[in-house]
């Protein structure tokens, strides 16, 4: 079976999308007062290098080499249909993977907001403040988020028999859409807004206390279906959350931040954060 994508497609795609979206932000900024040089640019550039798709790729390799071989009997006992889609054509595997993965990610994202320990992790992504929301903000998150998202995806999809390069194609599409959804571009997608997530919708996700709307990654359809869509005509006036000042600002300190959660949960009620 010939390869759909070259192994270097991801790093090339990441570089190309980054340059193109950064240029578009300079040419047609939605919020013109925001420049390329902005607070915490250096930490977010480091996040791009460290995250990208690489944590997920490393996890997939670990799962393939050390986890899957030891779980054969378990999947058989549970009746999981191993390799169900492996014989299916790319024309079926690609759209199916895009929709399935996005649906699972929508629920993972909801869980990151709904459960207090997970919210402590996800706060790092929501620490994007006014003047910091651009394509690069897509990469500001805790590395444990990758573990959660990718474990929920690559293990079941690998078991079902999706081709590895179909999963890489999803990573490329996800990276481009992630860039665009965080970009300083006035993208609302017109009538397609009921299907595709957009910068307009995702900006409101970042404006909400602990987020209660627009959990979509690629597709907005899940939010419209489950009643969590919010898309006012104007951008929000403020991003972040009320106790943002308590979150450290450097990347190393943010990575260590969730370790304090067991102690922090005994703290007094955090203003603005509802259970
Ligand atoms: Zn975001
Ligand atoms: Zn969120």
Give residue 53's region: left, alpha or beta (phi > 0; psi -120 to 50). Answer: alpha
CB 60: neighbour CB atoms within 10 A? 21
Residue 26 has pLDDT above 90, yes or no: yes
Residue 263 has pLDDT above 80, yes or no: no
Running DSSP on this structure, what letter comes out for residue 35?
-
Residue 221 has pLDDT above 90, yes or no: yes
The answer to whether position 95 is within a domain reads yes
pLDDT band at 55 (very low <50, low <70, confident <90, very high): low
Which residues, in sequence order, are bridge partners of residue 219?
196
CA of 202 to the centre of ligand 1 (A): 6
CA of 182 to the centre of ligand 1 (A): 6
Residue 216 has pLDDT above 90, yes or no: yes
| Nearest-angstrom CA–CA distance, 269 and 63 | 39
Q: What is the structure's pLDDT at 103?
A: 94
CB 204 within 8 A of CB 230: yes
CA of 126 to the centre of ligand 1 (A): 7
pLDDT band at 4 (very low <50, low <70, confident <90, very high): confident
| Max avg pLDDT among 69-73, 104-108, 243-247 | 104-108
CA of 107 to the centre of ligand 2 (A): 11
Residue 211: nearest ligand to its CA? Answer: 2
CA of 227 to the centre of ligand 1 (A): 19
CA of 109 to the centre of ligand 2 (A): 6
The answer to whether position 105 is within a domain reads yes
CA of 266 to the centre of ligand 1 (A): 28
The answer to whether position 2 is within a domain reads no
Q: Is residue 196 helix, strand or coil?
A: strand
Q: What is the structure's pLDDT at 1?
A: 54
Residue 104 has pLDDT above 60, yes or no: yes
The answer to whether position 273 is within a domain reads no
Q: Is residue 93 helix, strand or coil?
A: helix
CA of 259 to the centre of ligand 1 (A): 22
CA of 64 to the centre of ligand 1 (A): 29
The answer to whether position 272 is within a domain reads no
Q: What is the structure's pLDDT at 238?
A: 87
Number of domains comprising the chain: 1
Residue 219 has pLDDT above 70, yes or no: yes
pLDDT band at 21 (very low <50, low <70, confident <90, very high): very high
Work out the burial of residue 15: count CB atoms within 10 Å of its CB; fewer than 13 is exposed, 13-18 middle, 19 or more buried.
exposed
The answer to whether position 193 is within a domain reads yes
Residue 100 has pLDDT above 50, yes or no: yes
Domain residue limits at 123: 39-264
Q: What is the structure's pLDDT at 270?
A: 39
Q: What is the structure's pLDDT at 60?
A: 65
| Nearest-angstrom CA–CA distance, 51 and 189 | 28
- Residue of 143, 175, 145 lying closest to 251 (CA atoms): 143
| Nearest-angstrom CA–CA distance, 210 and 115 | 10
Average pLDDT over residues 126-146: 90
The answer to whether position 15 is within a domain reads no
Q: What is the structure's pLDDT at 272?
A: 36
CA of 76 to the centre of ligand 1 (A): 38
The average confidence (pLDDT) of the chain is 84
The answer to whether position 76 is within a domain reads yes
CA of 19 to the centre of ligand 2 (A): 25
pLDDT band at 273 (very low <50, low <70, confident <90, very high): very low
CA of 255 to the centre of ligand 1 (A): 17
Give residue 210's region: left, alpha or beta (phi > 0; psi -120 to 50). Answer: left
Residue 210: nearest ligand to its CA? Answer: 2
Q: Is residue 241 helix, strand or coil?
A: coil
Work out the burial of residue 184: count CB atoms within 10 Å of its CB; fewer than 13 is exposed, 13-18 middle, 19 or more buried.
buried
CA of 241 to the centre of ligand 1 (A): 13
CA of 97 to the centre of ligand 2 (A): 22
Q: What is the structure's pLDDT at 190?
A: 92
Which residues, in sequence order, are bridge partners of residue 196?
219
Q: Could you write out the DSSP letters of every residue in 107-142?
A: HHHHHHHHSHHHHHHHTTGGG--TT--SGGGGG-S-
CA of 221 to the centre of ligand 2 (A): 16
Residue 179: nearest ligand to its CA? Answer: 1
pLDDT band at 275 (very low <50, low <70, confident <90, very high): very low
Average pLDDT over residues 183-202: 95
């Amino acid at each position: 079976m010939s390869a759909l994508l070259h192994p270097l497609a991801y790093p090339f795609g990441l570089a190309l999308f980054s340059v193109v979206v950064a240029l578009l932000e300079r040419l047609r900024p939605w919020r013109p007062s925001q420049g390329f040089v902005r607070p915490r640019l250096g930490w977010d550039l480091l996040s791009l290098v460290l995250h990208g798709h690489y944590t997920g790729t490393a996890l997939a390799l670990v799962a393939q080499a050390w986890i899957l071989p030891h779980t054969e009997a378990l999947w058989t006992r549970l009746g999981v249909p191993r390799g169900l889609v492996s014989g299916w054509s790319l024309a079926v595997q690609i759209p199916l993977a895009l929709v399935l993965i996005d649906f699972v990610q929508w629920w993972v994202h909801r869980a990151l907001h709904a459960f207090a320990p997970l919210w402590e992790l996800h706060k790092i992504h929501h620490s994007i403040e006014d003047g910091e929301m651009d394509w690069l903000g897509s990469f500001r998150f805790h590395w444990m988020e990758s573990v959660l998202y990718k474990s929920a995806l690559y293990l079941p999809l690998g078991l079902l028999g999706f081709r590895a390069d179909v999963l890489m194609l999803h990573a490329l599409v996800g990276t481009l859409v992630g860039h665009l959804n965080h970009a300083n571009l006035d993208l609302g997608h017109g009538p397609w807004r009921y299907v595709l997530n957009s910068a307009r919708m995702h900006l409101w996700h970042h404006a909400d206390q602990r987020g209660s709307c627009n959990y979509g990654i690629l597709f907005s359809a899940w939010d419209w279906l489950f009643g969590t869509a919010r898309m006012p005509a104007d951008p929000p006036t403020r991003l972040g959350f009320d106790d943002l000042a308590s979150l450290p600002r450097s990347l190393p300190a943010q990575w260590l931040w969730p370790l304090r959660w067991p102690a922090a949960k005994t703290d007094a009620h955090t203003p603005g954060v509802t259970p």
